Structure 1
Amino acid sequence: MADIVIPWYAAIIGLLFAIFLILRKMNPVYSLFLGAIVGCLIGGASLSDTVNILISGTQSIMGTAIRVLAAGMLAGVMMESGAAESIAHAIVSKLGANKAILSLALSTMIITAVGVFIPVAVLIVAPIALSVGKQTGISKLALLTALSGGGKAGNIISPNPNTIAAANGFKLDLSSVMIAGFIPAVFGLITAVVIASLIKKKGAMVQDSDIGEEEEKELLPLSKALIAPVLSIVLLLINPIGTMLHIQLLANLKVDAMYILPFASIVGTIAMGRAHQIREYSKAGIYRVTDTVLILIGAGAIAGLISVSDLSKQVVHLISITGISGTFLAPISGILMGLAVGSTSTAVILATGSFGHAILATGTSSLAAAVMVHTGATVIDSVPQGNYFHITANSMHMSIKERMKVIPYEMCIGGVMTIVATILYGFILK
């Protein structure tokens, strides 16, 4: 198997076949496996060699899969305990109705940034957004633009599966990718607020039927709600802060996210006085990340196909012939994969696995590549073939036609973050 080289066109056919099956609503994991098998067989690999290639590829993503499972623990605690909802209510009530759009965008950004998955973050804040929109006369189009834009901004600085995939795909610490995404995230938040403010009277308005009657429930105190996410972020930042400040003790303290996220989750749960519910929270968390881990395994199969092909060399050769800066390969790969699969995390997984070697071969640094792929995956990831499109439409009581109108604004927000990341890390800090 060591001597096998799959032709580049076979690898491309395998990847396109997998994407085609995903677009046809076939299970993404089986789609990716079938794509990898087809690519190997077209490329001349034997049946036994094909199995070895797929096994080798799936083994390469196990580190990412373990860290994603660890992230699920924090997500479960934040969602099931009501901590995320408490944070959202606190932000909206503090900023008030006059700054409604900012408060809603900031809420989803912070909730996503502390480890809640973006569709769930929108689900949590949506009822608050609808209530605020009814009071202030802000359209559902503007409300979802604010929520989705804030969520996208938070998603690139979070310990979520997409950030873990970007970090591990380029062999980086999770904290370094989170920090590097901060400036693009700020620009994303600003863009979301500006766009939502400009279109706040455009589109359908919130109706009484959209709100319904919400049950009054006791919210978790903010001080307790913040313990798990703040502890996890502080612990994740110890190493990079020590490196930046030249504090050797902290710089040498390399504690992996695999330990930090479950530890912070358990401490936070105990601090909330809900130690007896740790089992329920962890069960909910692992349920949330199961699909992502399975897709990771499928993407590993495709990565195995790509790794034994000469695709990377051909891509680098093509870039050198055209004279286009190789830096653009990173964001473009993220954008294309996001468009193909309609999922930020899956897009990052596929882009790093399929084009990671080619991106690095152009001279782009690992950190720059990770941030540009990551932000690129947020540009066109809210398309109808993905779950995010439908979850957010339902949460805001929007028809498919109404939800489609939000996509151009989401593209603008993701596009701004990608442009900022590309200029900053692809050229200025290259």
Structure 2
Amino acid sequence: MTAAMDISWFGALAGLALAIVLILFKLAPTYALILGAIVGGFMGGADFSEVIKILISGTQSVQGTVIRIIAAGVFAGVMMESGSAGTIAKVIVDKLGGTKAMLSLALATMIITAVGVFIPVAVLIVAPIALSVGHKMGYSKIALLVALSGGGKAGNIISPNPNTIAAAGGFNLDVNQVMLGGLVPALFGLAVAVIIASLMKYKGTKVTDAEAAELEQASAQNLPPISKALVAPVIAIVLLMISPIGSMLGIDFLAALQIDSLFILPFAGIVGSLVLGKANKILDYCTAGLNRMTPTILIIIGAGAIGGLITASTLPTEVVALVQSSGISGMFLAPIAGILMAAATASTSTGVILATGSFSNAILNTGVVPLSAAVMTHTGATVIDHLPHGTYFHVTRNAMAMSMKDRMKVVLFESMVGITMTVAAVVLYGFIL
């Protein structure tokens, strides 16, 4: 698959547009993306054999990302199913106390997401704690969800989750580079989430006595002690950070020790299971983690197909030419691609996968270095990834027992957190570094 096929940019754009429309009409994203690649290929002037080459080449290009996400499923399964994530969240909130409630809730969700738990699951884990705190303090559900969702977004750009793995894979980076690169924007996002939540804490629907009573009954879950719950994430973070820390300190041995997340995350998950005394549950955790990763894996395969179409077409060249002729700095293409693709799919991971798979070459051709491109694309995908046509909107609404009206009010504040992180990334990687 090369530009020698001379696929028209119009065909590639039409195929991408068709895929997005089909996703909005609730066709399974994998089918929508593959169908968009096929139709776009024919519209762009390819014949049957060339369309097949585009599909095969495109899907082959994402296999490195796929296998890393499969490996990450072991770690995610352990954190979610063992109760370790719940323990970490509860300890953070208990230690900070009610006076710093919004900070504790946002920080808890950030950390739970940062250690490899999916952001919707992280909100589900912390939501009962948030509702309990909200009932005691008289806080509104809107403010509570702003804290949870904002903290989750901040954690999501520094986590070994599928979106970070996809951002790294799209620009041929190690996942630890992208995780570390997102740290400063994440801290800005956390701060804004806490500020907004604190300003809104008495505005909106409150937690009812009946909801609080129901939470008391459900809180009897048997969670592991914090000393054991932290083992898996600490091992993962330490091993992932060995090479970056070695590079920063000038220690060649550590810098050269490039241990991929493909090895680190399953290892950390298995050791964590053993420390928890759950060796007999390892197979169950692996199965649960893989089940959670499967939808993302299927989307990546579809995104590879549409990415193959765009790479084989003249669209990347046309996009770069358009950016250059408009006078807009090329570095803005990265966050814009992340924003638009995540908005279209209402998903951070799908947005990053589409943005990197379709526009990574165009972004790099504007002169942006890979790490800057990855972080700006990644943060851009957090701006409008929470719209109602995605699952995150509804999962979080149900977790907080909110009305549709109240949930819609949170959307703007979530976007403010995402915009803050994107601006921080653009300033840091576009102007300072």
- Are the equivalent residues in 2 in contact too, given 1:121–1:151 (CA < 8 A)? yes
1:186-219 deviation digits (Å, cap 9, x = unpaired): 0000000000000111111111233313241332
Rounded Cα–Cα distance in structure 2 between residues aligned with 1:75 and 1:337:
25
For this pair of structures, how many residues does the alignment match? 429
Structure 1 letter corresponding to 2:250: H
Bigger shift: residues 311-320 or 114-123: 311-320
Q: CA deviation at 1:428?
A: 1.0
Q: CA deviation at 1:320?
A: 1.1
Structure 1 letter corresponding to 2:131: L
Q: Does 1:51 align with 2:52?
A: yes
Q: Which residue of 2 aligns with 1:12?
A: 13
**Counterpart secondary structure, 1:384:** coil
Rounded Cα–Cα distance in structure 2 between residues aligned with 1:24 and 1:88:
36
Instruction: Please point out which of 391, 394, 414 is paired with 1:390.
Output: 394
Structure 1 runs of 4+ off > 3 angstroms? none
Rounded Cα–Cα distance in structure 2 between residues aligned with 1:351 and 1:240:
26
Rounded Cα–Cα distance in structure 2 between residues aligned with 1:400 and 1:199:
18
Q: Which residue of 2 aligns with 1:326?
A: 330
User: Which aligned pairs between 1:274-423 and structure 2 lie closer than 5 A?
Assistant: 274-423=278-427
Structure 2 letter corresponding to 1:248: D
Bigger shift: residues 3-12 or 90-99: 3-12
Rounded Cα–Cα distance in structure 1 between residues aligned with 2:48 and 2:138:
62
- Are the equivalent residues in 2 in contact too, given 1:375–1:421 (CA < 8 A)? yes
- Are the equivalent residues in 2 in contact too, given 1:331–1:376 (CA < 8 A)? yes
- Are the equivalent residues in 2 in contact too, given 1:210–1:396 (CA < 8 A)? no
- Are the equivalent residues in 2 in contact too, given 1:68–1:289 (CA < 8 A)? yes
1:281-338 deviation digits (Å, cap 9, x = unpaired): 0110000000000000000000100110011111111111111111110001101111
User: Which aligned pairs between 1:112-131 and structure 2 lie closer than 5 A?
Assistant: 112-131=113-132
Q: Does 1:37 align with 2:41?
A: no
Q: CA deviation at 1:251?
A: 1.1
**Counterpart secondary structure, 1:405:** helix
TM-score of the two chains, using structure 2 as the length reference: 0.98
Rounded Cα–Cα distance in structure 1 between residues aligned with 2:140 and 2:177:
38
Q: Which residue of 1 aligns with 2:209?
A: 208
**Counterpart secondary structure, 1:337:** helix
User: Please, what is the CA RMSD of the aligned residues?
Assistant: 0.8
Q: CA deviation at 1:72?
A: 1.1
Structure 2 letter corresponding to 1:308: A
Q: Which residue of 2 aligns with 1:28?
A: 29
Q: CA deviation at 1:380?
A: 0.2
Rounded Cα–Cα distance in structure 2 between residues aligned with 1:114 and 1:423:
26
Bigger shift: residues 208-217 or 231-240: 208-217
**Counterpart secondary structure, 1:406:** helix
Bigger shift: residues 113-122 or 246-255: 246-255
Bigger shift: residues 208-217 or 148-157: 208-217
- Are the equivalent residues in 2 in contact too, given 1:36–1:302 (CA < 8 A)? yes
Q: CA deviation at 1:5?
A: 1.4
Q: Does 1:88 align with 2:89?
A: yes
Residue ranges of structure 2 left out of the alignment (5+ in a row): none
Bigger shift: residues 142-151 or 215-224: 215-224
Rounded Cα–Cα distance in structure 2 between residues aligned with 1:192 and 1:388:
17
Structure 1 letter corresponding to 2:333: L
Rounded Cα–Cα distance in structure 2 between residues aligned with 1:344 and 1:109:
15
Rounded Cα–Cα distance in structure 2 between residues aligned with 1:383 and 1:402:
14
Q: CA deviation at 1:63?
A: 0.1
- Are the equivalent residues in 2 in contact too, given 1:112–1:155 (CA < 8 A)? yes
**Identity among equivalent pairs (%):** 62
Rounded Cα–Cα distance in structure 1 between residues aligned with 2:38 and 2:204:
46
Structure 1 letter corresponding to 2:32: S
